[in-house]
Amino acid sequence: MTRFEPSQLAAWTGGRWTVPPVSPLVGFGIDSRQLRVGQVFVALRTDKRDGHDYLPAAEQSGAAAAIVATPNGSLALPQLVVADPLRAFQAIAREHRAGFHGPVVGISGSVGKTSTKNLLARLLGETHEVLATEGNLNNHLGVPLTLTRLDYAKHKLAVIEAGISGPGDMLPLAEMISPDIAIITLVAPAHVAELGSIEGVAREKAVLPAHTRADGLALFPQQCANFAAFSQLPNRRIVVERADIIRPERAPDDRVFYTITHRDNETALVLAYREPPPLVFTLRRVSDGMAQNAVLAICAALRLGVEIAVIQQRLAGWAPAGLRGEWRRDAGRLTYVDCYNANPASMADALDTFYGQAPADQPRILVLGGMEELGPESAMFHRALGRSLQVRTEDRVFAIGDHAAALREGALDKGIRSERVNVVDNLDAVRAALAGFSGTVFLKGSRRYRLETLLESAKEEPAHA
């Protein structure tokens, strides 16, 4: 368990203690209801609430101290008074990470960053020696909460996820993470409403690899390298690029070529990594997008010294997290569930997987939730999605969301019959269509739509098509 010295926290933040803490400081919390004894409560101010109002509750919960902008003199609780508690907390995380001598991998991307983080953590061992971001703690609060859990005596490596939603979000995350290896999974239209364009997304994502340490490495696919923000990065890089075949020759130092082969319930990856012969890995069948993420994770694991045989062994037992691209057998039907998030790239990848694996002799119901935060071109993206659909005479499509009508319009433009494409305001009509349906189901949409609630049981065992 990491202990923080009061004098150290004051020096890192430029703050002053109302009274010196007498109890050990053993971590940080931002919710007074979830504090553990000995933690430091960070009193954050937001548009909805002021953490200073919860200082008495934090004291009652066993907080050993608090970080505040305005001290509460009625409490015995030691308080570190700073100009901005959030910036102070981030400064603590940044300095604490700077004292960690093991490798730190930072991961971001428009698609697949959480799945890639989970997979890489597994390849590195998934033991107590690897600190990895938990859940979705990947933002301006989640990153410092994760980094301050670094235990110098216990942890040997860290895998930290960085998520953004607007301009300027990545800089404080990158400064805190200061990665030895920075992985960007993909640049795609996500948060375009805030970032202005896909080029704006690329510029924001590129901030993470730009902040790798002096001897660090940026690792990303060729798709990212097509953006100026990535091609102009000054640091060392490895670009992974899909190829038609792998040639028996030495790969360039800055390039890893790979092939993907899907067969039955298995995906095979062949990598031209440095010297021949090529490396071959197999994992459960995944989408092409997840296969590329696996290549990125494998390359990072190899750079960090994990043996090839160990990587293969750990790949064999890997499965995607719930709701992130998995087949479930629900109510006797095969259902492809990918309901954590959605943007044009992840939607296309999921649909390609579904079309390739769904039994051809069964009717299909496709339930498409809206793709969020795409800015003024949102209707265009949904219309393009409609035009991309493969709908047979026995299939049906249900679209829900702010731009569901645009999706339907695109489908009709393609020549799909109108009765096959339904726009719905809620999921009741979908539930009615699923009742008694014998076929294959596709569920994909942003979290807002909670399409997984259409499953009769979210606890059914994953299945393969």
Q: Sketch the domain layout of the chain as residue ranges.
A: 6-84, 99-316, 324-454
456: nearest Cα among 329, 324, 339: 329
Residue type, 205: K
Cα distance between residue 310 and residue 314, in whole Å: 6
Q: In the prediction, which pLDDT does 126 show?
A: 67
Q: In the prediction, which pLDDT does 30 show?
A: 97
Q: In the prediction, which pLDDT does 396 show?
A: 98
Name the superfamily (CATH) of residues 6-84. Answer: MurE/MurF, N-terminal domain (3.40.1390.10)
Q: DSSP string of 112-164?
A: SHHHHHHHHHHHHT-STTEEE--TT--STTHHHHHHTT--TTT-SEEEEE---
Q: How many residues are present in the chain? A: 465
Residue type, 418: S
Q: Helix, strand, or coil here: 1?
A: coil
Domain 99-316 carries which CATH code? 3.40.1190.10
**CA angle, residues 336, 440, 264, in degrees to nearest 5:** 70
Domain 324-454 carries which CATH code? 3.90.190.20
Return the H-helix or E-strand segment holding 303.
Answer: helix 288-303
Q: In the prediction, which pLDDT does 458 show?
A: 47
Q: In the prediction, which pLDDT does 464 show?
A: 46
Q: In the prediction, which pLDDT does 465 show?
A: 43
Q: DSSP string of 304-365?
A: TT--HHHHHHHHHT--PPTTEEEEEEETTEEEEEE-S---HHHHHHHHHHHHHHS-TTS-EE
CB 316 within 8 A of CB 245: no
Cβ within 8 Å of residue 356, ≥6 positions away:
262
Strand blocks (E) in 12-149: 16-17, 28-29, 40-42, 65-68, 79-81, 104-108, 130-132
Q: In the prediction, which pLDDT does 457 show?
A: 58
Q: In the prediction, which pLDDT does 461 show?
A: 45
Cα distance between residue 41 and residue 29, in whole Å: 5
Strand order in the sheet with 28-29: 16-17, 79-81, 65-68, 40-42, 28-29
Cβ within 8 Å of residue 395, ≥6 positions away:
363, 364, 365, 366, 420
Q: In the prediction, which pLDDT does 436 show?
A: 86
Cα distance between residue 119 and residue 134, in whole Å: 13
The model's pTM: 0.91
pLDDT tens for the chain, 465 residues long, are 789 999 999 999 999 999 999 999 999 999 999 999 999 999 999 999 999 999 999 999 999 999 999 999 999 999 999 999 999 999 999 999 999 999 999 999 999 999 999 999 999 996 779 999 998 899 999 999 999 999 999 999 999 999 998 999 999 999 999 999 999 999 998 888 888 899 999 999 999 999 999 999 999 999 999 999 999 998 899 999 999 999 878 888 899 999 999 988 899 999 999 888 999 999 999 999 999 999 999 999 999 999 999 999 999 999 888 788 888 888 889 999 999 889 999 999 999 999 999 999 999 999 999 999 898 999 999 999 999 999 999 999 999 999 999 999 999 999 999 999 999 999 999 999 999 899 999 999 999 999 999 998 544 444 444
Q: DSSP string of 199-211?
A: HHHHHHHTHHHHT
Q: Which two tokens stand for residue 181?
A: 């290896």
- Pairing state between β 396-400 and 421-424: parallel
